[in-house]
Structure 1
């Protein structure tokens, strides 16, 4: 029996030494973790104070976009834009929420569209949306990140 114990003990030591050698390095672990992260999705969407307390993510998202749409509509005075562009009922605006909570608004038109004075629309957006209320940035693993989305701005409602 004692000889059997020595063999078992030696096997155990040998096996445990092999196990120690298989522990991945910090760099390997980091690389594996980085590959597992979906960088196209955020953990928390941008938000405003009135929507932060909502637990249901779909309802919170809806609350945020309704708030944002309302604020943009109020500030832009769609009637003046409708006068500039009578053939359009909606313009699309790319909204960028930066990690430091500042926003940028950029009109989006088809690339072949030369009929629109994009500089004029851009100027209107910058002027009228300059004092936009604070938006909390999106979060990825607890870190504020940049997010972008397209927001339709209704010029005419029938």
Structure 2
């Protein structure tokens, strides 16, 4: 009778779902992580060398944006631009900073008057981006990542 009870006990335990180990594939783990991943925010914003010493994330972002604006504005102010009408426009530059730190211009929104008066403006902006100091890419989970953002740029020519 003891042998029968032991066999019965072994059969009951071995058929229990509690002892089944479910395998989780690496693809399933990756899919779950990607769904939980916050794609809208980065741990650190792209930055110039002079902004790296700042501790707060918002200060780093403000430093990067103001430095970028100043560099582009200074480049454009050194160019000779001749117009037949006064221009006072706010451009919207859509920019991408790659994970290697390269800046590219994706789109430029400007008034049609600005576009007709300064047809070379987009090329000048591209040249100003090429002349920028080295940019450190944004960081997400200890990895450099590509980021895109929009930046206003005031163009005033009299």
Structure whose residues are more often strand by fraction: 2
Distance 2:136 2:85 in 1: 32
Deviations 1:101-154 (A, max 9, x none): 1112343236xx476247511122223442211111112222222212222222
Match of 1:17 in 2: 19
- Name the SS for the 2:33 alignment partner: helix
Q: Distance in 2 between matches of 1:32 and 1:71?
A: 41
SS in 2 for 1:100: coil
TM-score by length of 1: 0.73
Matched with 2:155 is 155
Alignment of 1:58-97 (within 5 A): 58-77=58-77, 80=80, 83=83, 86-97=86-97
Q: Residues of 2 paired with 1:12 and 1:150: CA distance? A: 61
Give the paired residue count: 150
Distance 1:152 1:37 in 2: 29
TM-score, normalized by length of structure 2?
0.73
For 2:31 and 2:17, how far apart are their aligned partners in 1? 27
Q: Which runs of 5+ in 2 are unaligned?
A: none
Counterpart of 2:132 in structure 1 is 132
- Cα deviation digits, residues 78-109 of structure 1 (max 9, x gap): 88558476242322222221122111234323
CA distance in 1, matches of 2:66, 2:58: 12
Kept after mapping to 2: 8 A contact 1:137/1:146: yes
Q: Which runs of 5+ in 1 are unaligned?
A: none
Instruction: Classify the secondary structure of the residue corresponding to 1:148.
Output: strand
Bigger CA drift: 59-68 or 115-124?
115-124
Higher-Rg structure is: 2
